[in-house]
Amino acid sequence: MIEKKFVLETEEGLHARPASMLAKATMKYKCDIKLFKDKDKTNAYQPKSILSLMSVGAGKGEYLTFVTEGDDEGEAMRSIENLFASNFQG
């Protein structure tokens, strides 16, 4: 299991374009991926779904924690890291 926290830096927050990019990137992996907003560990969102991602309601400067667990968890987390590192530009 890998757990990492990221700060959302996009001006519009987790809107349609970044949500779409994140869902597309995470759908490739078989491992279980969960997303938690801020410090709330009771409500998990499924980042493999655009609708679930948009329902997070995350704005600029908010923290998002991702947890990957399974065979390809490392690759999945690297994919998520790359999106945040590029500020969803690529």
Write out pLDDT tens, residues 20-30. 999 999 999 99
pLDDT digits (tens, 9 = 90+) for 40-67: 676 788 889 999 898 888 999 999 999 9
The reply to whether 25 belongs to the active site is no
Query: Alpha-carbon distance 40 to 42, whole Å?
Result: 6
Q: Of residues 15, 21, 25, 50, which has the active-site annotation?
A: 15
60, 13 contact by CB (below 8 A): yes
Query: Phi/psi at 47 (nearest 5 deg)?
Result: -75, 0
- Burial of 19: CB neighbours in 10 Å, binned 0-12, 13-18, 19+: buried
**Ordered structural domains, the chain, with CATH:** 2-85 (3.30.1340.10)
pTM of the model as a whole: 0.91
